[in-house]
Amino acid sequence: MNEPQNRRIAVIGLGAMGGAMAATLHKAGWEVTGFDPSDAAREAAAKIGISTTDNLAAVAGTPYAVLSLPAASIVETTVPQLLATPGTVAIVDTTTSEPATSKHMAGLAEAQGAAFVDAPVSGGRDGAATGTLSAFVGATDVALAAAEPVLLALTGGNYSHIGGPGSGNVVKLLNNVLAAANLASVGEALGVAKAYGIDPSTAAASISGASGGSKVSANMYPNWVLSGTHDSGFSMGLMARDASLAVDIAEQIGEKPELLAAVANQWQYALAVLGPKADFTEIARTVAPAITPAGAPGTATGKSAETDTNPATPEATSPAA
C-alpha cells in the first residue's frame, strides 16, 4: 500500500453514512474536515472532534476527499469545486451514482493531475462506523493506487476493483435492484406461508438454510420486518431510485430486463404510498402486510404515507449486499 504523505481528508456529506465514515477516518488518525449544508449534521460531527465547515470552497484542494451524496447531479457540481484549488490527490465517491457521471468526473480529475474513483459502498451504518464496508470500485489502475489508502481505511481491504470509471456504479446498482427484488419476493413468500398458518419467522429461518435463502431472508426480514422495527437506516426513496436507475442504465445500452423493470415499478408504487422517508424494508407492508406489525399503509395499524417528497440530503448507503 502507498502510505499517504499527507493525511488531510475532506468528507463531503455528513449524513448517516458520511458522518460514520468521517468518524472512522478520524479514529484512524486522518485529519478530517467535514462539509455539509445541514447545521445538525455538522454539529453531530463536531461533537466527536471532527472539524466542520459550511463552505465547500474551504476544503477545495484537500489532498483526499470522500463523497457521500444523495445523487449524481450533486456529484457533478461538487467535484469541479473540489478541483478548483490545486492539491487534490484522490476523490473517493461512495455515492450510489451513475456511470456516465463517474466517467466524466474521472476525466476532469485526470486533467488536473488528480484521481477520481467511483466506490459505492455496502454495509450500512455499522460497516461505516467500524471501517468494514465493502466497495464496488470503478477506476483506472493509476487512480486506484492513489485512492487506496482511503479505501483501506473505510473497508479494511474489502473492495472489488470492477473495472474502469463507472463500472463500480453499474455493479452497485445491479446489486441494489437484486436486493430490491429479493425484498419483494421474500415478503410475498412469507405472506403465503402465513396464510397457511405457518409462523413467518420459522419459514424465514428454514428457507435461509436452504437454496432459496439470502441475506434478506436470514437478516433483513427477522431483524427489521418481522420485528416491526424497520430501522435499517436506508430509505424507501433511495432504494426506489436505485432500482429505477439500474433499469435505466440497462436500457441505455439496449438491454431490456423485464423482471427487474417489474421490480422497479413495484418499488415506485411503494414509494407513492409510503413516501421517500419510509425505511426501505417497509416494502413488506405493500407486498405482504399480514406479516408486518405495522400492517398495510393507510389501515388502522398502518402509518399514513409521507407527503415530503425530498429524500434526506446526506446519503444513507444500502446495507444490502
In the chain, the percentage of residues whose pLDDT exceeds 70 is 92
The whole-angstrom separation of Cα 167 and Cα 170 is 5
Mean pLDDT of 73-96: 97
Cβ contact 265:258 at 8 Å: no
Summarised one tens digit per residue, pLDDT across range 141-185 is 999 999 999 999 999 999 999 999 999 999 999 999 999 999 999
pLDDT of residue 124: 85
CB of 65 closer than 8 Å to CB of 9: yes
- The CATH number for 262's domain is 1.10.1040.10
Residue 62 burial (10 A CB sphere; 0-12, 13-18, 19+): buried
Q: What pLDDT is recorded for position 301?
A: 58
Find the angle CA(231)-CA(241)-CA(192) to the nearest 5 degrees.
Answer: 60
Last residue of one domain, picked from the residues 150, 165, 180 = 165
With cell 469545486, the residue in question is: 81
Q: How many domains does the chain have?
A: 2
The confidence band for 187, taking pLDDT boundaries of 50, 70 and 90, is very high
- Note the pLDDT of residue 3: 67
Which residues touch 81 (CB under 8 Å, ≥6 apart)? Answer: 56, 57, 60
Return the pLDDT at 250: 98
Q: Within 13 Å of residue 292, how many CA atoms lie on the same side as its CB? A: 27
> What per-residue confidence (pLDDT) applies to 309?
36
194 by DSSP, 3-state: which?
helix
- Per-residue pLDDT averaged across 43-58, rounded? 96
Here the cell at position 221 is: 426480514
- The mean pLDDT of 262-276, rounded to a whole number, is 98
Q: What pLDDT was estimated at residue 304?
A: 43
Same-domain status, 144 and 12:
yes
Residue type, 191: G
- Bridge partners, 8 (sequence order): 31
Q: Does residue 316 carry a pLDDT above 60?
A: no
What is the domain-level CATH number for residue 41?
Answer: 3.40.50.720
Answer yes or no: is 297 within a domain: no
**Cell 472532534 identifies what position?**
49
3 domain residue, yes or no? no
Task: Give domain status of residue 198, yes or no.
Answer: yes
Give yes or no for residue 314 having a pLDDT over 50.
no
Mean of pLDDT over the chain: 93
pLDDT at 6 (0 to 100): 83
Is residue 114 domain-shared with residue 42, that is, in the same domain? yes
Asked whether the predicted pLDDT for residue 317 surpasses 70, the reply is no
Is residue 100 domain-shared with residue 219, that is, in the same domain? no
> Is residue 299 situated within a structural domain?
no
Task: Indicate the DSSP class of residue 283.
Answer: G
* Claim to verify: residue 94 and residue 194 sit in the same structural domain: no
Range of the domain at 260: 169-291
Give yes or no: residues 195 and 130 share one domain: no
Average pLDDT of the residues in 15-22: 95
Please state the pTM of the whole predicted model: 0.89
The answer to whether residues 201 and 282 belong to one domain is yes
Q: How far apart are CA 254 and CA 248, in angstroms?
A: 10
Mean pLDDT of 43-70: 97
In whole angstroms, give the CA distance from residue 283 to residue 285. Answer: 5
Last residue of a domain, one of 135, 165, 195: 165
The pLDDT of residue 321 is above 50: no
Nearest to 139 by CA among 113, 111, 118, 160: 118
The answer to whether residues 204 and 87 belong to one domain is no
Q: What is the pLDDT of residue 254?
A: 98
Predicted confidence at residue 310, as pLDDT, reads 35
Is 232 in contact with 17 (CB distance < 8 Å)? no
What burial class does residue 49 get, using C-beta atoms within 10 Å of its C-beta: 0-12 exposed, 13-18 middle, 19+ buried?
exposed
| Structural domain includes residue 306 | no
Closest CA to 99 of 144, 152, 55, 164: 164
Indicate whether 2 belongs to any domain.
no
Are both 28 and 147 inside the same structural domain?
yes
158, 173: one domain: no
The set of cell numbers assigned to 218 is 436470514
DSSP strand pairing (51-53 vs 31-35): parallel
Residue 300's pLDDT is what?
Answer: 57
> Which of 177, 97, 176 minimizes the C-alpha distance to 137?
97
- The alpha carbons of the chain give a radius of gyration, in whole angstroms, of 20
Sequence-distant (6+) residues with CB within 8 A of 166 are: 98, 99, 100, 101, 102, 103, 106, 118, 138
Report residue 233's pLDDT band, with 50, 70 and 90 as the boundaries: confident
Confidence of residue 279 (pLDDT cuts 50, 70, 90): very high
Active site residues: 172
Q: 227 pLDDT exceeds 50?
A: yes
Cα–Cα distance, 117 to 95 (Å, whole number): 11
Is residue 196 located within the same domain as residue 105? Answer: no
pLDDT at position 56, please? Answer: 97
Q: Residue 219 and residue 212: Cα distance in Å, rounded?
A: 14
Per-residue pLDDT reduced to its tens digit, 291-301? 999 999 987 55
Q: Is residue 315 part of a domain?
A: no
Q: What is the model's pLDDT at position 2?
A: 58
Q: Are 219 and 115 members of one domain?
A: no
> Which of 165, 183, 217 is where one domain is finished?
165
Q: What is the pLDDT of residue 180?
A: 98
- 34 and 147 co-located in one domain: yes
* Selected residue with higher pLDDT from 312 and 287: 287
Tell me whether residue 226 is in a domain: yes
pLDDT band at 302 (very low <50, low <70, confident <90, very high): low
Alpha-carbon span 29 to 7, nearest angstrom: 8
